[in-house]
Amino acid sequence: MIQKSLFLAVGLMAALSQTAAMAQDRYRERPPVVVSPDLAAPWVMQLTGPQARAIATSRQPAQPRVVYRQRRGIFDSGSAAQPVAMRPAPIRSQLEPQWLPQIVRYETREKPGTIVIDTNNRFLYLVMENGQARRYGVGVGKPGFEWAGEHKITRKAEWPEWNPPSEMISREAAKGHYLPAKMEGGPENPLGARAMYLGSTLYRIHGTNAPWTIGSAVSSGCIRLRNQDVTDLYTRVNVGTRVIVQ
């Protein structure tokens, strides 16, 4: 009985050895890799081994590594063999709380209904009764374009058209930015949803198509608010309203 078991065990081992030898002989040369015509597909680029790399790159010329530089960051397109589409970071649309409209204590001798603009702190105050004011965050003139003075609102306009002054057109052209001679009112217009013109000057209190600039010194002297804020202010003041810029 023992001899019979030993005989069967030896026979089984021999059979397994022969099967392994046949398998090694069968797969001694790896079969060719067949890939999709879309050699840029991510799964193709995960293949390993020199043969796969040769197939993946033989029909697809190497692409240069591209780095997109945006105002708010640097975005890499990925490796040359697998370009990746990158979306630019979203532009900041929400403001810090201090720039949002709110009722504040405001001691002043100015009469209710007067607008006082504090350019240093980037606030516009609409004076109210009982030592209070409605305060809005604003964008003001950039360095070299600051100004102070007193005017009255001489005109109001909804969705105003924009006619850049010739000085601004020339100034921006020198930087490689070419402005239109005229731009109709609308969401893309830099004057935004509303405008209140100050005296006979070119200065205005207006909306903006760049709300993330509120709280900054970025304009050519105008006072800008978010569109929803300038619309609110627009309904609270009339032509003839006194405006103090300080």
The residues annotated as belonging to the active site are 206, 222
Other C-beta atoms lying within 10 Å of the C-beta of residue 150: 13
> At 230, is the secondary structure helix, strand, or coil?
helix
Pairing of strands 217-219, 140-141: parallel
8 A C-beta contact, residue 117 and residue 246: yes
Distance CA 71, CA 90 (A): 11
Beta bridge partners of 136: 124
Q: Are strands 242-245 and 115-118 parallel, antiparallel or unpaired?
A: parallel
The tokens for 213 are: 């600039």
Q: Which residue has the tokens 């005229």?
A: 182
- The secondary structure element, H or E, covering residue 151 is strand 149-158
**Of all helices (H) and strands (E), which one includes residue 219?**
strand 217-219
Please, what's the b/e burial string for 181-210 (b: 16 or more CB within 10 A of its CB; e: otherwise)?
eebebeeebbbbbbbbbbeeeebbbbbbee
- CA nearest neighbour of 198 among 182, 222, 214: 222
